[in-house]
């Protein structure tokens, strides 16, 4: 498959992605929650169809542009899980005329502007901050949440859809136990807000949560109506390193030509830099920066297993430097193509216009 | 100018970029070296024309794709300053038929393949590693460099163009004194290689060097024939923080809508994340991660001065979190647009398809 590749190329293992989708869809069914996957990771209409085959009808995106793209591709129930951008109200109005559109708010000013300027009915979620500290009304500010919900309910062009959280701090957790602890705390905070809203006269609303670490680890979503994980479709080295998935679940890798080989330091240099992999890194066990791992791929029906002896140790704009020791160093040569598993698949995929599958097919992105 | 902006947009201060170009071109003229600027930072045919007005006739790029793009746009003397990718020899042959093309090698295998397979005359530079440790033959391996130069000279379809270095370790230097020290050491190593080659019967070759920190700081390029800086066209927070340029020289910024405001922590959240700014960061004076600074821009003919009291302190895929205190916090509101100066302009610009100038004009990229 790599024979026709001459430059950095995003490779997709379709079987792995479909298995990842199927497993999360199954978990949602068993747990009796709506599966509203986040499509920001793959951003591909064709991959979206793989979700549809597993019964998915409603999706999440993180920008109005993505919402427009997926609406053009037949999706008619979309939540933009990002604080509503008030500068985009005219376009939001237009889109909301043709699909069921959800937006997020965490301020009075946003609700006021939406209710004044929207020209179509929009579903509004209140973003609640249950510990991540990025956006949302802090969970303990119950009065503010109740007041905002009523403000929404009283606006003729807004429907109060419910409360929505993103436990983004689960990405800071180092292992499964820590992820469970994040979920347990965040979940209890979320349910306390739900309880307060219910006893304040707001009854018919939903509770939405979701992030790949928690949704991969947790089985019991009691009190939650829908989950919105995204990264799980491809996973990556970060998630595997924490035990959220297996390394063999990682469904994307970047094919990179080898352009340099340096015996005195047991390194190779690949055409594969920050503009292909992104500059995301994690620390390896010794605390060194790790920008990815080579795959053991040498043909076959999957993109291969991770080669822990071949870490990408530095990246510049176009170059990647890989430590390669032992027999692999003898085998690999200038002019070969190697596969690199990414640290953060969302950021890596964003740098390419398309995926190439193992049978040479092309899958376009937004 | 920001009135028509509704989503993250790359803003270009044309005057600052032209001033940066003019200053470097002037320095090259005074220092009597050829100015072969690296176009990987801007990757724009239109911006390329601004260089042409300053007398530039030869350029540097870092991929074959960029070489093809600039060749289509009238550039006929291009060096691809990246170890030659042997998988691209057919395309290199094609391109070399119509322009004066230079490529880099640091191995016998590359020279052998080029001499066997190239169908057109190509200029070959030997990449010499003078301390960066990324690619190139280490400077002290003189025998290998001389032998490779002769190998090139003896190939009928290759011209030995000279030796080329990139002092990339100047980017690790923390201040001007350290950058000078990097240059001094690298330069003496480079001249020692030049001397050995000259006394080995290789007389008509050139010496090329270049990186923005050194080329901005150094005035005397004795023994060097050409310089290849790239980042200086826009500079960025990293370069300004080291004194390589002034903060007022930074010529690009990302316009980002404000989507959240949080009084309890004096932070705003912008639509401007890792997919807009890149995940590059430096450490601020207290050792915290810094992903950019807001500009004080409030209209006018430049993109404004840096607001050191408004650092971007974290980025996720689409969100940026900015610490904003005092009066600015009172003034800024959800629905406003702010400008963010990038940490590394090469990586940030790579994430956009076009620049928007302060008069609302559009400048396309590759």
> Is the four-CA dihedral B107, B110, B111, B113 of positive or negative sign?
positive
Q: Which of A8, A83, A273 to mutate to test the interface with B (most CBs of B within 10 A)?
A: A83
Minimum-distance CB partner of B269 among A135, A271, A317: A135
CB interface of B with A, residues 37-66, below 8 Å? 40, 62-65
Q: Are A155 and A123 in contact (CB under 8 A)?
A: no
Which of B81, B91, B135 should be substituted to probe chain A, the one whose Cβ sees the most A Cβ atoms within 10 Å? Answer: B135
User: Quick check: B83 and A337 CB within 8 A?
Assistant: no
Whether pLDDT at A295 is above 90: yes
Q: Which residues of B touch A135 (CB under 8 A)?
A: 259-260, 262, 269, 319
Yes or no: say if A354 and A9 are a contact pair by the CB < 8 Å rule: no
- Is A134's CB within 8 Å of B269's CB? yes
Rounded Cα gap, residues B279 and B275, in angstroms:
8
User: What CATH architecture applies to the domain A14-234?
Assistant: Alpha-Beta Barrel (3.20)
Contact B260 A333 (CB under 8 A): no
Summarised one tens digit per residue, pLDDT across range B318-329 is 999 999 988 999
Residue B57: phi, psi to the nearest 5? -125, -20
pLDDT band at B43 (very low <50, low <70, confident <90, very high): very high
In this prediction, residues A262-270 reach a mean pLDDT of 96
pLDDT at A78 > cutoff 90: yes
Average pLDDT, chain B: 96
**Beta-carbon separation of B135 and A260 below 8 A:** yes
User: Are the C-beta atoms of A141 and A163 separated by less than 8 Å?
Assistant: no
**Cα A355 to Cα A365: distance, rounded to the nearest angstrom:** 8
Interval A18-48: pLDDT, tens: 999 999 999 999 999 999 999 999 999 999 9
Are the Cβ atoms of A271 and B63 closer than 8 angstroms? yes
Residue of B nearest to A272 (CA): B63
Q: Give contacts of A334 with chain B, Cβ < 8 Å.
A: 83, 86, 107, 109-110
A133 touches chain B (CB under 8 A): yes
Residue B299 pLDDT exceeds 90:
no
Q: Which of A70-74, A169-173, A322-326 has the largest mean confidence? A: A70-74
Q: Do A135 and B260 touch (CB under 8 A)?
A: yes
SS3 B52: helix
Q: Convert the pLDDT of each residue in B267-291 to its tens digit.
A: 999 999 999 999 999 998 889 999 9
Q: Domain residue spans in chain B?
A: 2-10+245-364, 14-237
A62/B350 CB distance under 8 A? no
Q: Tell me which of B85, B128, B138, B265 to substitute to probe the interface with A (most A C-beta atoms closer than 10 Å).
A: B85
The SS3 assignment for B91 reads helix
* Among candidates A83, A85, A107 on the partner chain, residue whose Cβ is nearest the Cβ of B6: A85
**DSSP-derived 3-state class of residue A82:** strand
Contact A347/B279, CB-based, under 8 Å?
Answer: yes
For chain B, helix, strand, coil in percent to 5 are 35, 25, 35
pLDDT band at residue B170 under the 50/70/90 scheme: confident
Q: Which of residues 170-199 of A touch B (CB under 8 A)?
A: none
At A273, is the secondary structure helix, strand, or coil? coil
- Which pLDDT value is given to residue B169? 87
pLDDT averaged over every residue in chain A:
96
Mean of pLDDT values over B249-278 = 97
Residue of B nearest to A352 (CA): B351
Residues of A (271-330) whose Cβ lies below 8 Å from B: 271, 274-275, 278-280, 314, 316-319, 321
Choose among B86, B275, B280: nearest Cβ to A334: B86
Q: Give the number of beta-carbon pairs within 8 Å between A and B.
A: 140
DSSP secondary structure letter of residue B38: B
Residue A79 CB contacts under 8 Å (≥ 6 apart), including other chains: A36, A58, A59, A60, A61, A101, A102, A103, A104, A123, A125, A164, A208, A228
Q: A26-30, A140-144, A198-202, A333-337: lowest mean pLDDT where? A: A198-202
- Nearest CB among B91, B110, B259 relative to A85 is that of B259
Separation of first and last alpha carbons in chain B: 24
pLDDT at residue A168 in the model:
85
* pLDDT at residue A1, as a whole number: 64
What average pLDDT does the segment B161-171 reach? 92
Check pLDDT > 90 for residue A114: yes
Which percentage of chain A shows pLDDT scores above 70? 100
pLDDT for residue A326: 85
Do B126 and B137 contact (CB within 8 A), yes or no? yes
B110 → chain A, closest CA residue = A334
User: What does DSSP assign to residue A172?
Assistant: T
Q: Contacts of residue A65 in chain B, CB cutoff 8 Å?
A: 7
- The answer to whether residue A243 neighbours chain B at the CB level (below 8 Å) is no
CATH class of B14-237: alpha beta
ipTM for this prediction: 0.95
What pLDDT is recorded for position A151?
A: 96
Residue A285: per-residue pLDDT = 84
Query: Radius of gyration of chain A from Cα atoms?
Result: 22
Q: Which residue in B has a C-alpha nearest to residue A4's C-alpha?
A: B87
pLDDT at B150: 97
pLDDT at residue A59 greater than cutoff 70:
yes
The answer on pLDDT for B168 being more than 90 is: no
Predicted confidence (pLDDT) per residue in B231-242, tens digit = 999 999 999 999
Percent of chain B at pLDDT > 90 equals 92
**In sequence order, what are the residues at sequence separation of 6 or more whose Cβ sits closer than 8 angstroms to the Cβ of residue A178?**
none
**Per-residue pLDDT band at B224 (split at 50, 70, 90):** very high
Could you tell me which CATH class the domain B2-10+245-364 is placed in?
A: mainly beta
- Does B168 contact A84 at a Cβ distance shorter than 8 Å? no
Longest dimension (CA), chain B: 72
Neighbours of B174 (CB within 10 A): 10
Which of B47, B97, B93, B90 lies closest to B70, judged by CA? Answer: B47
CA distance B21 to chain A (A): 21
Beta-carbon separation of A318 and B5 below 8 A: no
Cβ-Cβ contacts under 8 Å, A318 against chain B: 40, 62-63, 82
Q: What is the pLDDT of residue B1?
A: 64
Interchain pair A86, B334: CB under 8 A: yes
Nearest by Cα to B83 from A321, A173, A94: A321
B7 contacts A64? CB cut-off 8 A: yes
Please answer whether residues A216 and A176 qualify as being in contact, where contact means their C-beta atoms are separated by less than 8 angstroms: no
* Model confidence pLDDT, tens digit, residues A229-252: 999 999 999 999 999 999 999 999
Same fold, A2-10+245-364 and A14-234: no
| B203, pLDDT greater than 90 | no
pLDDT of amino acid A212: 96
């Amino acid at each position: 498959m790599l024979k026709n590749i001459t430059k950095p190329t995003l490779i997709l293992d379709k079987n792995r992605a479909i298995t990842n989708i199927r497993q999360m869809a199954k978990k949602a069914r068993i747990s009796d929650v709506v599966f509203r996957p986040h499509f920001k990771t793959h951003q591909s209409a064709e991959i979206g169809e793989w979700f549809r085959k597993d019964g998915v009808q409603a999706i999440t995106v993180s920008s109005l542009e993505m919402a427009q793209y997926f609406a053009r591709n037949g999706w008619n129930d979309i939540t933009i899980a990002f604080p509503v951008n008030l500068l985009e109200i005219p376009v939001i109005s237009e889109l909301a005329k043709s699909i069921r559109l959800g937006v997020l708010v965490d301020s009075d000013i946003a609700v006021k502007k939406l209710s004044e300027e929207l020209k179509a009915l929009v579903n509004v979620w209140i973003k609640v901050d249950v510990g991540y500290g990025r956006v949302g009304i802090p969970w303990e500010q119950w009065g503010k949440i109740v007041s905002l919900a009523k403000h929404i309910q009283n606006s003729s062009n807004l429907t109060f859809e419910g409360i929505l959280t993103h436990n983004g701090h689960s990405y800071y957790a180092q292992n499964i136990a820590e992820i469970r602890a994040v979920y347990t705390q965040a979940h209890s905070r979320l349910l306390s807000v739900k309880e307060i809203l219910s006893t304040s006269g707001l009854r018919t609303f939903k509770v939405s949560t979701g992030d790949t670490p928690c949704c991969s680890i947790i089985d019991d979503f009691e009190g939650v109506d829908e989950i919105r994980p995204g990264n799980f479709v491809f996973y990556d080295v970060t998630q595997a390193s924490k035990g959220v998935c297996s390394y063999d679940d990682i469904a994307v890798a970047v094919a990179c030509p080898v352009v340099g080989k340096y015996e005195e330091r047991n390194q190779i240099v690949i055409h594969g830099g920050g503009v292909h992999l992104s500059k995301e890194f994690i620390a390896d066990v010794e605390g060194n920066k790790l920008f990815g791992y080579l795959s053991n791929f040498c043909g076959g029906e999957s993109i291969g297993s991770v080669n822990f002896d071949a870490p990408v140790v530095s990246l510049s704009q176009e170059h990647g430097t890989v430590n390669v020791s032992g027999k692999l160093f003898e085998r690999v040569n200038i002019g070969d193509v190697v596969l690199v598993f990414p640290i953060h698949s969302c950021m890596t995929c964003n740098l390419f216009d398309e995926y190439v599958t193992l049978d040479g097919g092309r899958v376009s992105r937004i």
